[in-house]
Structure 1
Amino acid sequence: MEKLKEFFAYGEKVPGYDVRVLNEREARAAAAILFVGAFIGLTNGVMLGTAVFSKYFVTFFAIDFTLRVIQPRYAPSLLLGRFFVSNQTPEYVGAEQKRFAWALGMIIAWPMFYYLVLDFQPNPLKVLVCLICMALLFFEAAFSICLGCKIFNLVKKNKATHCPGGVCEMKIKEPIQTFNPVQKSILIITVIVMAYGAYAYMTKLPDKQI
């Protein structure tokens, strides 16, 4: 009975932490792996006009996020992530808010599975949902920003603790985290140039057959 109870216990017990935790490093690695899969599926659809890869990927994505919500110890992408970061010091984050964020991903994944795998009906709305999923994966992998965890704090009475990068506990930024006027100017110019570049690429590049 004790082993069965531990099997369904969500997250891991780690000395020094008052809540069950997960390793943020393997979660970020898993997000990067899924982002690459989603990107390949999207480019295959746009450039080659085939959704075969996307169908397999969306199936994997839906199953993987369901396992994350039930028991992340056995989620394939997290195990892949663990393999790649197994020599790095773990960064522990609260399991409860990660479960909430992954549940949101699961809610998105299964309708996409139906409309892209069982009843294939591609349209701009579904492409937009895919792009949103890719953006969420990218933000987690690149910046350790879990938007689902932020939503958790908005809807839950008990606020999250042990967030990625310590954002739940950090109140005052260190000098190295702030911007001086020159840095702010460079940042603003960079964002404007990147935004214009993306717009120009999407609207001014002549259409060509691959």
Structure 2
Amino acid sequence: MSWFKNTWFRDPNEEILFINDTAVRIRAGMMLAIPLFMALTLFDVAYTSPWIVNTNSIEDTYEVNDASQIIYSGEMTRRTYDYTVQTALLFYGLFELLAGMFVWTSRLSPTIHLSTYLARNKRAEWKPLTPKRFAWSLGITLVTLCLVFFNPDVFANWVNALFGAELLPTTYNYIPYWFPVNLVWVCIALMWFEAVLGFCLGCKIHSLLVWMGIIKEPCYACHNIDWDEIRRKHEVT
């Protein structure tokens, strides 16, 4: 039951925390469901008809247009969109990203417990938590932008109330559809790379910033030496 006590941490009491990357990849595969659902929602909003046609009301007008096409008349209503489910899922995704950053919050995450359980019989790959925190911070930014798109009036009211001026409109969505549509595909690609290929772009960016000296970090590899494995190799030779 150590997987339940420690979740995906090698040792929660370590000064520099390491997590099981196998469990991280399993969790990324589970969380991939959220951006996929958002992609379907955005496709429906951006690329399908905003009109609902009452087929029983369609009648032939016995007229044609300039292209010699028959003109019909009918009753149509404009679709309205309710993003309550999407907003709830995005807030849950935001919670999951935040939960993975600390030991005590990780115990509140269902996906961390489930992914750790699924990885219990697989060989653990210990990687430092700090680069993952940086990557998840980028994910938090993307999720926040999606929340603003789905709730533009709420965000506009907060901004306008904070600054005491009408800086953002509250009667229409000021974020163009192409922005979240492209953003959600970026999220899907990054999570797919993490889950399937084990490639974490945020971690690579973090490493680049450390190499450039912008971020000061210790040598994590020095803290990740498997002395037991080294001892076993010497015993074999």
Please state which band the TM-score falls in when normalised by the shorter chain.
Answer: 0.5 to 0.7
In structure 2, relative to structure 1, the CA distance for the partners of 1:133 and 1:159 (3 Å cut) is: farther
Query: Structure 1 unaligned runs (5+)?
Result: 1-6, 163-210
Q: 1:45, 1:88 → 2: CA distance?
A: 37
Extract structure 1 runs of 4+ deviating beyond 6 A.
none
Higher relative contact order (CA 8 A, sep 6+): 2
Q: Deviations for 1:138-189, whole angstroms, at most 9, x for unmatched residues?
A: 0000000010001111212447645xxxxxxxxxxxxxxxxxxxxxxxxxxx
Q: 1:72, 1:133 → 2: CA distance?
A: 22
Q: 2:107, 2:189 → 1: CA distance?
A: 25
Question: What is the TM-score of this pair, normalised by structure 1?
Answer: 0.60
Q: 2:153, 2:188 → 1: CA distance?
A: 22
Q: 1:160, 1:102 → 2: CA distance?
A: 21
Partner of 2:167: none
For residues 42-191 of structure 1, what are the structure 2 equivalents within 5 Å? 42-46=39-43, 51=83, 53-70=85-102, 71-117=105-151, 119=153, 121=173, 123-156=177-210, 157-158=216-217, 161-162=220-221
Name the SS of the counterpart of 2:36 in structure 1: helix
How many residue pairs get aligned? The number is 153
Provide the alpha-carbon RMSD of the alignment.
Answer: 3.2
Q: Deviations for 1:70-119, whole angstroms, at most 9, x for unmatched residues?
A: 44343333223223223322211111111111112112222322322464
**Higher helix share goes to which structure?**
1
**Higher strand share goes to which structure?**
2
Q: Deviations for 1:11-31, whole angstroms, at most 9, x for unmatched residues?
A: 54389x994200111110111
Q: 2:95, 2:12 → 1: CA distance?
A: 27
Partner of 1:39: 36
Q: Which amino acid aligns with 1:102?
A: W
Q: Which amino acid aligns with 1:13?
A: D
Q: 1:20, 1:54 → 2: CA distance?
A: 33
User: 1:22 aligned to 2:76?
Assistant: no
In structure 2, relative to structure 1, the CA distance for the partners of 1:130 and 1:83 (3 Å cut) is: same
In structure 2, relative to structure 1, the CA distance for the partners of 1:116 and 1:146 (3 Å cut) is: same
Q: 1:58, 1:130 → 2: CA distance?
A: 12
Query: Structure 2 unaligned runs (5+)?
Result: 1-5, 49-80, 155-172, 211-215, 222-237
* Contact map agreement 2:101 2:129 (CA 8 A) in 1: no
Question: What is the TM-score of this pair, normalised by structure 2?
Answer: 0.54
Q: Deviations for 1:37-59, whole angstroms, at most 9, x for unmatched residues?
A: 32133224425866554333212
In structure 2, relative to structure 1, the CA distance for the partners of 1:45 and 1:123 (3 Å cut) is: closer
Q: 1:99, 1:58 → 2: CA distance?
A: 18
Partner of 1:174: none
Q: 2:25, 2:18 → 1: CA distance?
A: 15
